[in-house]
Amino acid sequence: MTTLWISILGVALASAAIKALGPVLVGGKELPPSADAVIALLAPALLTALVVTETFGEDGHLVLDARAVGVGVAALVLALRAPVLLAVALAALTTALVRAFG
């Protein structure tokens, strides 16, 4: 039980510290234009990595399973400008169907 509580408190403190660091250090200063250009590309880079790792990652290796089909369907309908909630629901439904009948 102690291991669990140490983990919980440690993660909460570390998470708060990580989130505080950027805003405290950078402060209200204006950033140089080159930094702005890099920061503008952070969102697409991070989002891509999150999609890739949560779709294909499984315990430290790459897998191609029902999730990939579900997320693929979501990408397709999003490209056709479907609303976000519909795309997310279709991803879950497709993944569940592939698992049930695949």
Partner 1 sequence: MPFALATFVLGISFGVLARSLGWGVVAPIVFSVIAFSGSAQFAVVAVLGAGGGALAAIVAAILLNSRFLPMGVAVAPFLKGGPLRRALEGQAVIDASWALASRGGGRFDREFMIGATLPQVAAWISGTVIGVLASDVVGDVERLGLDAIFPAFFMALLVDELRDGGQTIAAALIAAVLSLALVPLVPPGVPVIAACAGALLGLRGRSS
Q: Give the single-character DSSP code of 76.
A: H
Q: What is the torsion angle, in degrees rounded to the nearest 10, for the CA atoms of residue 44, residue 66, residue 56 and residue 90?
A: 10
Q: Which of 64, 100, 101, 102 binds partner 1 (CB under 8 A)?
A: 100
Alpha helices in the chain (DSSP H): 2-26, 33-56, 66-79, 84-101
8 binds partner 1 (CB under 8 A): yes
Binding mask 59-78 for partner 1 (x = CB under 8 A): xxxx---xx--xx--xx--x
Residues numbered 27 to 46 that lie near partner 1 (CB under 8 A) are 27-31, 34, 36-46
Instruction: Name the strand (E) or helix (H) holding 65.
Output: none
Rule CB under 8 A: say whether 25 interacts with partner 1. Answer: yes
# residues contacting partner 1 (CB under 8 A): 77
